[in-house]
Amino acid sequence: MARGLYTGICLHFEEARINHRLRFGVPDYQVHLDKTRSLAFFGPNQTLGYIRWLANDYGTQDWRFCVVKTVSTQTDDETDITTFPGIIPGADIFLHMSGKTKVKRMLALLDDLEEKGADLTQITESWWRHLHNRLEVRAGFHLPDDYQLAGGQVKTSGSDIVEMEIWVP
């Protein structure tokens, strides 16, 4: 493994205490540290969803969900790397939600998109950023169109007006 080529994601599960897991995305490989912890490694430019949940004797303390794109730290260009707990060395964060209500709404939306056949790893970063901004101001947003669902690979005519479904959280 070349240093700086992979992004590591810390996965950890202890019942009723810690649940740090992938919501979507397929790692290139995974290393099991013990029966509750492992590391998932992703190559550059892969999109993934990561959930961090933490509880103690007084209940849930932390809910976080983010959609990130892994980056290579070996490139010479000015790549933005944002640090986030559990992501080593960091990633380009498209969407970040924290708090029980926001995260649960986001997970419900992801379930709806998957039911409609969307591959969440192929949705464009612009739509994830749009979704993040709209949810932060508690506004409705449009569901991704065919272009955004295909990762920006589908060519559409600029003169076509697309009617978009609005989903209000």
Would residue 79 be called left, alpha or beta, if left means φ above 0 and alpha means ψ between -120 and 50 degrees? beta
Q: Supply 164's token pair.
A: 């978009």
Query: Sorting pLDDT into bands at 50, 70 and 90, what band is 81?
Result: confident
Which pLDDT belongs to residue 19?
Answer: 95
pLDDT at residue 154 above 60?
Answer: no
Residue 40 has pLDDT above 60, yes or no: yes
Average pLDDT for residues 99-122, to the nearest whole number? Answer: 91
Q: Could you give the dihedral angle defined by the CA atoms of residues 72, 74, 80 and 84, in that order, rounded to the nearest 10 degrees? A: 60
Q: Which DSSP letter does residue 77 get? A: S
- Whether the predicted pLDDT of 74 surpasses 90: no
pLDDT at 78: 52
| Neighbour count for residue 103 (Cβ, 10 Å) | 19
Q: Is the pLDDT of residue 67 over 50?
A: yes
* pLDDT average, residue stretch 43-65: 93
Cα separation, 87 vs 18, whole angstroms: 16
pTM of the model: 0.83
Average pLDDT value for the chain: 84
